[in-house]
Structure 1
Amino acid sequence: MRHPVRPVLAGVLLAAALVLTGCSADGSGDTADSKADAGGAAQEAAGPASASAKDVDGRGPAKAPTLTANSIIRTASLTVQVKDVPKALDEARGTAESAGGYVGDETTTRDAEGHERTRLVLRVPTERYDEVLTGLQGAGKLLDRTAKAQDVTDQVVDVDSRVKSQQASVARVRELMDRATKLGDVVTLEGELSSREADLEALLARQASLKDRTSLATITLSLTQTPPVAAAKDDTPGFTDALAGGWHVFVTMLRWIALALGAALPFAALAALAALLWWRIARRRRTPGEEG
C-alpha cells in the first residue's frame, strides 16, 4: 500500500521547480532586453561620431582637412665682384633656368674706367630659393647681400574668400537677368552686373599677383668686374724722374724771375723817365756855352 504523503511531496517539489524555472527565464529575458536597450543607446550615441568619421557616401573615413601652408614673398639682393662679367652672367642665367626660373630683367653698363657692370632680376621657384641664392653668391667675391621674407597668408586667404563671394554674386545677378522681362529691370541689372564684374576682375588680378609673388622668389643680382691689379712701382728715381724734376725747377725759377720783373717794372719806368729828363736839362745847359 502506497503512502499518501509521497505523491503530495512530489507535487510540491515539481511546482516549486516550475516556479524557479519561470523566474530564471523571466530574469534572463529582462537581462537580454536591457542589453539590447543599452546597445541601442550606445549605437545611437555613437551615431553622430561614426557619421562624422565617414564620407558623405559612406565609403570610408573622411580625410582630415589639410592645413594651408604659409604664403611668403621672398626677395633678395646680391652684389658680387667677378673677374669675367659675361661668363658670370651666363652662369647666373643657367642657374636660374635649371631651377625652373627665368631672367626677368637685365641691364649692362660700363663706368669711366671701362669696368663692366650688369644688373639682372631672376625669378625662381620658392622651393629652390635658398639653393639658387647660395650658388649665385659663390660665383665671386660677395660685396653685399640683403634678403627679406614677407608673410602674406592672411591676404591670400582674404582675397580667395572675396573672389568666391564675388563670383557667386555675379552668378546671382546673371540668373536675375535671365528671368527679367521688363526693359527697366534688364538695364538696372546690366549696370549692377558690370560693376560686380569689374570688382571681380580687380580681385582676380590681385589674386594672380599674390600667387606669382609667393610661388616665385625675386633675386636681384649685380655683377661688377674686378679691377686689374696694378704692378708694384719702383720708388728708386731714374733719369726720367731727374729730368722731370730739373724741368720743374727751371720752370719754377722762370716763374719767380717773371714775378720779380713784373714787380720792378713800375720803378724801372720811373727811373728811366727821370734819367731822360735829367739828360735833356743837362744838354740844354751845355748847348749855350758851346755856341759862345
Structure 2
Amino acid sequence: MRTTTHPRRRGRRTRSGTRPSGRLPAAVLLGAALVLAGCSADSGDSGADAAGGKAAAPGAEAGRQGAAGSAAARSGGTAGSGASKPAPSSVVRTASLTVRVKNMTEALDTARTAARDAGGFVGDENTRRDEDGSRHSEIVLRVPTEKYDEVLGELEGTGELLRRNSKAEDVTDQVVDVDSRVKSQRASVARVRKLMDRATELSDVVSLESELGNREADLEALLAQQASLKDRVGLATVTLTLSEKTAAARKTAAAEDDPGFLDALAGGWGVFLAVLRWIALVVGALLPFLLVFALGAVVWRRFLRPRLPRRPAPATSPAAPGTLPSAPPARDGKS
C-alpha cells in the first residue's frame, strides 16, 4: 500500500506545484481590474460615465487625473505668482484720428512710411470720392506699442487735426489666466496620451481618443485666445481718417458761401421778423403796467374827480363905458 500511494502523492504535488504558475498572472490582472474599477467609481468623471462598461475605467482615470492636474496647476500657479514678483502689465492701446489734409496722396504715403519705420504694417485701407471731387480715406495701422506715441505725433502732422480719441485697456488678468489655463490643458493632454499608450482594450482606446479630442479642442481654443491677446498687447491699433477737398470743391464751396439777392432778401426778412419779435416782447413786458395805469385813470375820472370841491369862478369886472359917437362933420352950403 505504501509503495503505491507515494507516487500518486508526488504526482499530485507536482501538479499542484505547477498550477500556481498559470493562475498568478490572472490573479494579478483581476486585481488590477478591480483597482481600476474602484478608481473609476470614485472619480465620477463625466467623460468616463459616458463611455460605460470596461471603457469607463480608463476614461474616468483620465478625467480624474486631468481635473486634479488642472487644480494643482492653478493652485501652483497662484502660489508661484504670490511668491514671485508680479507679472508685467499687459495693456491694449487703440487710437483714432481725423485729419484734414491738402494732398491725400502725400498724407497716405506719410502714414504708410510711419507704420513701416516703426516696425508695423497697414492692416486695412479704404478710399472713396464724393460727387464734388473731394476724397476721404480710412487707413488702419498696426504699430508696436513702444512706438505708439511717436507714430501718433507723425500722423497728427499730416494736416489739420479735427478729432483725436485714444484708449488704453489693461488685460493683465486675462493674460495671466489664459497662460495658466494653457499650461494646465497641455499637462492634461499629455496625461491622457500616456493612458492611451497603456490601454490594451479597444473600448478603452475609443474612450480615451474621445477624451483626448475634447481636451485638444479646448487647448486649441485657449491657444487662439492667447495668440489674440499677445497680438493686441504687442501691436497698437491706430485708425486714421483723412479728408481732402479738391480745388474745384473749394471753389464750389466758396461760390456757395457768397451771398446773393435771395440771400439778402432772406436775411432782411429774418431781421424784420426779429424786430417784430422784440417789439412784441417789449409790449408784452409793458402791458401789465399800462393796464394798471389805465384802470387808475378811469377810477380817477369817474369816481374821485367828481367828488372834489369845485373852485369858485373868478368875479368878472364891469365893462368900461364906451365912448360917445362923434357927430358927423358939418357940411357947407355949397354941397
Local SS of the residue matching 2:128: strand
Aligned counterpart in structure 2 of residue 80 of structure 1, from 96, 99, 115:
99
Aligned counterpart in structure 1 of residue 189 of structure 2, from 167, 170, 189:
170
Local SS of the residue matching 2:236: strand
**Whole-angstrom distance in 1 between the partners of 2:146 and 2:85:** 19
> Unmatched 5+ residue regions in structure 2?
1-82, 262-335
Q: How many residues align?
A: 174
Mapped contact 2:133–2:245 kept (Cα < 8 A): no
Higher mean C-alpha displacement, 165-174 vs 142-151: 142-151
Specify the alignment match of 1:128 in structure 2. Answer: 147
Specify the alignment match of 1:97 in structure 2. Answer: 116
> Unmatched 5+ residue regions in structure 1?
1-63, 238-292
Specify the alignment match of 1:286 in structure 2. Answer: none
Amino acid at match of 1:86: T
Local SS of the residue matching 1:112: coil
Please report how far the alpha carbon of residue 134 of structure 1 lies from its aligned counterpart in structure 2 after TM superposition: 1.1
**Whole-angstrom distance in 2 between the partners of 1:236 and 1:178:** 91
Local SS of the residue matching 2:204: helix
Aligned pairs for 1:34-113 (under 5 A) are 65=84, 67-113=86-132
Please report how far the alpha carbon of residue 138 of structure 1 lies from its aligned counterpart in structure 2 after TM superposition: 1.4
Local SS of the residue matching 1:90: helix
User: Does 2:176 correspond to 1:145?
Assistant: no
Amino acid at match of 1:147: S
* Structure 2 CA distance for partners of 1:234 and 1:170, relative to 1, 3 Å: closer
**Whole-angstrom distance in 2 between the partners of 1:95 and 1:207:** 28
Aligned counterpart in structure 2 of residue 195 of structure 1, from 204, 214, 219:
214
Provide Cα deviations, 1:184-241, integer angstroms capped at 9, x if missing partner. 111000000000000000000000000000000000001100454446899899xxxx
Please report how far the alpha carbon of residue 65 of structure 1 lies from its aligned counterpart in structure 2 after TM superposition: 4.8
* Structure 2 CA distance for partners of 1:234 and 1:177, relative to 1, 3 Å: closer
**Whole-angstrom distance in 1 between the partners of 2:127 and 2:179:** 40
RMSD: 2.2
**Whole-angstrom distance in 1 between the partners of 2:131 and 2:260:** 31
Please report how far the alpha carbon of residue 131 of structure 1 lies from its aligned counterpart in structure 2 after TM superposition: 0.6
Local SS of the residue matching 2:211: helix
Amino acid at match of 2:229: L
**Whole-angstrom distance in 1 between the partners of 2:232 and 2:145:** 9
TM-score, structure 1 length as denominator? Answer: 0.56
Amino acid at match of 1:131: E
**Whole-angstrom distance in 2 between the partners of 1:213 and 1:234:** 50
Provide Cα deviations, 1:231-286, integer angstroms capped at 9, x if missing partner. 6899899xxxxxxxxxxxxxxxxxxxxxxxxxxxxxxxxxxxxxxxxxxxxxxxxx
TM-score, structure 2 length as denominator? Answer: 0.49
Provide Cα deviations, 1:159-190, integer angstroms capped at 9, x if missing partner. 00000000000000000000111111110000
Local SS of the residue matching 2:137: strand
User: Does 2:173 correspond to 1:154?
Assistant: yes
**Whole-angstrom distance in 2 between the partners of 1:114 and 1:227:** 6
Local SS of the residue matching 2:230: helix
Please report how far the alpha carbon of residue 158 of structure 1 lies from its aligned counterpart in structure 2 after TM superposition: 0.1
Local SS of the residue matching 1:103: strand
Please report how far the alpha carbon of residue 68 of structure 1 lies from its aligned counterpart in structure 2 after TM superposition: 2.2
Amino acid at match of 1:203: L
Higher mean C-alpha displacement, 128-137 vs 65-74: 65-74
Specify the alignment match of 2:204 in structure 1. Answer: 185
Specify the alignment match of 1:8 in structure 2. Answer: none
**Whole-angstrom distance in 2 between the partners of 1:137 and 1:234:** 32
**Whole-angstrom distance in 2 between the partners of 1:74 and 1:206:** 18
Please report how far the alpha carbon of residue 69 of structure 1 lies from its aligned counterpart in structure 2 after TM superposition: 1.6
Provide Cα deviations, 1:8-64, integer angstroms capped at 9, x if missing partner. xxxxxxxxxxxxxxxxxxxxxxxxxxxxxxxxxxxxxxxxxxxxxxxxxxxxxxxx9
Amino acid at match of 1:72: V
Local SS of the residue matching 1:218: strand
* Structure 2 CA distance for partners of 1:127 and 1:235, relative to 1, 3 Å: closer
